[in-house]
């Protein structure tokens, strides 16, 4: 049973890697983002999307931790 789970996990990781590779290869058009008058460098669409994903995956848990910490401290003061 343990070997079956390992094979299933390896297959899932392989499919995920292939999907990411296909996404990157299909989105090679260069674009330049314009935000509040600031123009970014021309990068492939896939790079910008992956950077936005990583930024969100970093900021989300940090905000959750900060809000959870503030909520716990307010509960301690009320008790």
Query: What is residue 79's DSSP assignment?
Result: -
Phi, psi at residue 33, to the nearest 5°?
Answer: -85, 140
Q: How many domains is the chain built from?
A: 1
- For residue 62, give its domain range: 1-76
Q: Please, are residues 45 and 27 in contact by the beta-carbon 8 Å criterion?
A: yes
pLDDT tens, the chain, 79 aa long: 888 999 999 999 999 999 988 988 888 899 898 889 889 899 999 888 888 989 999 999 999 988 888 777 666 666 5
The 3 state secondary structure assigned to 2-71 is HHHHHHHHHHHHHHHHHHHHHHHHHCCCEECCEECCEECCCEEHHHHHHHHHHHHHHHHHHHHHHHHHHH
**pTM for this one?**
0.61
């Amino acid at each position: 049973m343990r070997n079956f789970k390992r094979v299933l996990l390896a297959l899932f990781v392989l499919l995920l890697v292939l999907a990411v590779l296909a996404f990157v290869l299909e989105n090679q058009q260069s674009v330049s983002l314009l935000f509040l008058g600031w123009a970014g460098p021309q990068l492939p669409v896939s790079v910008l999307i992956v950077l936005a994903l990583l930024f969100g995956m970093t900021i989300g848990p940090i905000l959750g931790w900060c809000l959870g910490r503030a909520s716990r401290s307010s509960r301690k003061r009320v008790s």
